[in-house]
Structure 1
Amino acid sequence: MAIFDRQGAAVRVGRDVRTIRRWEAKGLLTFVLGRVRESDLLEAERRARMNRGGDRRSAAAVRG
């Protein structure tokens, strides 16, 4: 099980740190002591994608 800080979480899903902070503010993602589990991060990304109706990750993240 991987654990990420906000910057690492952003890199893992190919998003900006501001997006990670928005997900946190919306309640899609919960950080404990500044860290989040990879499974929770991926679930938040999935829910955000479903709400937006598509995949907005960068090409590098999709390939990666």
Structure 2
Amino acid sequence: MADTSTSDRAGWRSMLDEITEAHSGELVTIEVVDPSIGSQHEAERLPFSYLTYDPKDDVVVVAVGGQSPRY
């Protein structure tokens, strides 16, 4: 994967689209690490849907679950 600094947000959307295309449907686990509470699993072994960058709110969105009614 290309080395992208946090200040180079212009290329984030295309980089995240490439990751989405390469890994869509794979099972993923999302773990949030916080020094005050430790690590917490937010999602475990769910199908990866997509990553995208929202420049308005300056956040990266991670979507899991897919289209199945199961999720």
User: Could you state the TM-score of these two structures normalised by the residue count of structure 1?
Assistant: 0.33
Q: Which of the pair has more CA radius of gyration?
A: 2
User: Could you state the TM-score of these two structures normalised by the residue count of structure 2?
Assistant: 0.30
Question: Counting strand residues as a fraction of each chain, which structure ranks higher?
Answer: 2
